[in-house]
């Protein structure tokens, strides 16, 4: 955040993979570690391995069904003031209907979320916001992608998030208290896309029915809305099986970390063969439904990516990414 040098890219990434690919993924990760001079149970980082070994690892991932989703931001373009202004705007959206609420308990709950959000540091807010966008991309693009070719794999969602080295009170607690409210606010403004022609029956338990659809808007705010039946229950989707885990115990988190590091190095033009890296990483990604790029670029100000080499890499990612609508 507020970096003193240009191209200070940071990334968060998610690797979406069906359970049936677990054996292949563990084998690919084990080979990467051995090729990098590590033991099977060791953790390996991008800096520990030669470029060609990493490229071979990306090629092995391309033979599986998994996809890479990534959110990136150039911290050299963002000031603490920019982040605080964005945070304040989000907090206003959380609380904007507080006075319409019919019950004091509801007003207190919304106020508590507002206060928690405004109280987090700029650095933590940026991390939370990028994670929020990543979760939205998983739900929006990931589900739409897999429902076409592997719909049965959508019957259960298991989320494994890197615990990092921060205390629970710092990130995990903020995530648990703030993310549901922000997701709820965002989903009301921008409902997630589903396609009637696709088979979502494996996800039935994640959709509201007439009996389970939420009534809080009318009960607490006095706001009448059309039925929510058939819309996605994002809270259940996220919280049914979510684990903040030590990356050493999760091969999936280790793979996600290696991919995030690869995208970060790519955007910083750190590979000897940046074009090859972009081709291989792009091949693991999916382009959005509307025109755009396979990775979400976050900036709280109107700013363009000016580094021509970085722009070229992003275009290669786009040109090599899979279409979210499969033929």
Q: Mean per-residue pLDDT for 294-319? A: 89
Per-domain residue ranges for the chain?
9-323
User: In sequence order, what DSSP letters do the residues of 99-113 get, joined into one string?
Assistant: GG-S-HHHHHHHHHH
pLDDT of residue 214: 61
Q: Mean per-residue pLDDT for 26-43? A: 94
Q: What pTM does this model have?
A: 0.87
Instruction: Tell me the β-bridge partners of 313.
Output: none
Stated as kind and residue range, the H or E segment containing 22 is: helix 22-35
Closest CA relative to residue 231, chosen from 260, 263, 204: 204
With H, G, I as helix, E, B as strand and everything else as coil, classify residue 32: helix
What's the length of the chain?
Answer: 327
**Band of residue 98 on the pLDDT scale cut at 50, 70, 90:** low
Tell me the pLDDT tens digit for each residue of 239-272.
888 888 888 889 999 999 999 999 999 999 999 9
Closest CA relative to residue 121, chosen from 298, 4, 2, 291: 2
Residue 99 has pLDDT above 80, yes or no: no
| Burial class for 184, CB neighbours closer than 10 Å (0-12, 13-18, 19+) | middle
Structure tokens, 41? 């149970």
- DSSP annotation of 224 reads -
Instruction: Tell me the β-bridge partners of 287.
Output: 323
Residue 279 or residue 89, greater confidence: 279
Percent of the chain with pLDDT over 70: 84
Task: Report whether 69 contacts 14 (CB < 8 A).
Answer: yes
With H, G, I as helix, E, B as strand and everything else as coil, classify residue 255: helix
Q: Mean per-residue pLDDT for 151-176? A: 77
Structure tokens, 161? 């998030």
Lowest mean pLDDT, pick from 193-207, 229-243, 282-296: 229-243
Residue 311 or residue 103, greater confidence: 311
**Band of residue 211 on the pLDDT scale cut at 50, 70, 90:** confident
- DSSP annotation of 210 reads T
Ranked by mean pLDDT, the top range of 158-162, 193-197, 209-213 is 158-162
Residue 306 has pLDDT above 70, yes or no: yes
Q: How far apart are CA 146 and CA 293, in angstroms?
A: 19
Q: How far apart are CA 141 and CA 134, in angstroms?
A: 10
Task: Report whether 278 contacts 313 (CB < 8 A).
Answer: yes
Q: Mean per-residue pLDDT for 225-250? A: 77
* CA 226 to each of CA 106, 205, 210, 231: distance values in angstroms, whole numbers, following the listed order: 21, 21, 12, 11
Which residue carries 């603490």 as its tokens? 80
Residue 136 has pLDDT above 80, yes or no: yes
Residue 196 has pLDDT above 50, yes or no: yes
Closest CA relative to residue 132, chosen from 119, 146, 117: 117
Structure tokens, 104? 């004091």
Which residue carries 């979760």 as its tokens? 135
pLDDT of residue 176: 77
Percent of the chain with pLDDT over 90: 49
Closest CA relative to residue 33, chosen from 63, 62, 54: 54
pLDDT of residue 50: 96
Instruction: Tell me the β-bridge partners of 12.
Output: 71
Lowest mean pLDDT, pick from 33-47, 77-91, 247-261: 77-91
The dihedral built from the CA positions of residue 196, 204, 135 and 66, taken in this order, carries a sign that is: negative
pLDDT of residue 28: 97
pLDDT of residue 75: 87
Structure tokens, 183? 């997701």
Query: Mean pLDDT for the chain?
Result: 85
Q: Mean per-residue pLDDT for 195-214? A: 84
Residue 16 has pLDDT above 80, yes or no: yes
């Amino acid at each position: 955040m507020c970096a003193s040098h240009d191209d200070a890219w940071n990334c968060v990434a998610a690797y979406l993979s069906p359970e049936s690919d677990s054996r292949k993924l563990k084998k690919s990760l084990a080979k990467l570690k051995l090729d990098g001079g590590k033991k099977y149970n060791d953790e390996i980082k991008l800096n520990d391995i030669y470029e060609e070994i990493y490229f071979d690892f990306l090629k092995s991932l391309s033979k599986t069904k998994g996809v890479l989703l990534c959110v990136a931001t150039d911290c050299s373009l963002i000031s603490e003031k920019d982040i605080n202004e964005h945070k304040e705007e989000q907090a206003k959206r959380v609380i904007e209907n507080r006075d319409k609420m019919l019950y004091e308990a509801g007003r207190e709950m919304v106020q508590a979320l507002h206060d928690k959000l405004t109280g987090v540091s700029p650095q933590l807010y940026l991390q939370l916001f990028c994670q929020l966008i990543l979760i939205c991309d998983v739900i929006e693009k990931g589900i739409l992608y897999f429902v076409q070719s592997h719909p049965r794999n959508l019957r259960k969602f298991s989320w494994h998030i890197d615990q990092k080295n921060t205390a629970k009170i710092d990130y995990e607690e903020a995530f648990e208290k703030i993310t549901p409210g922000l997701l709820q606010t965002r989903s009301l403004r921008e409902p997630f896309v589903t396609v009637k022609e696709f088979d979502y029956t494996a996800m039935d338990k994640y959709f509201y029915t007439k009996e389970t659809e939420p009534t809080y808007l009318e009960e607490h705010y006095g706001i009448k809305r059309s039925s929510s039946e058939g819309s996605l229950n994002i809270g259940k989707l996220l919280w049914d099986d979510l684990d903040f885990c030590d990356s050493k115990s999760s091969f999936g988190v280790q793979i996600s970390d290696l991919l995030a590091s690869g995208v970060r190095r790519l955007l910083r033009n750190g590979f000897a063969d940046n074009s090859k890296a972009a081709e291989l990483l792009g091949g693991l990604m999916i382009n959005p439904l509307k025109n755009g790029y396979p990775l979400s670029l976050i900036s709280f100000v109107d700013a363009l990516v000016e580094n021509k080499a970085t722009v070229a890499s992003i275009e290669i990612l786009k040109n090599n990414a899979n279409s979210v609508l499969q033929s």
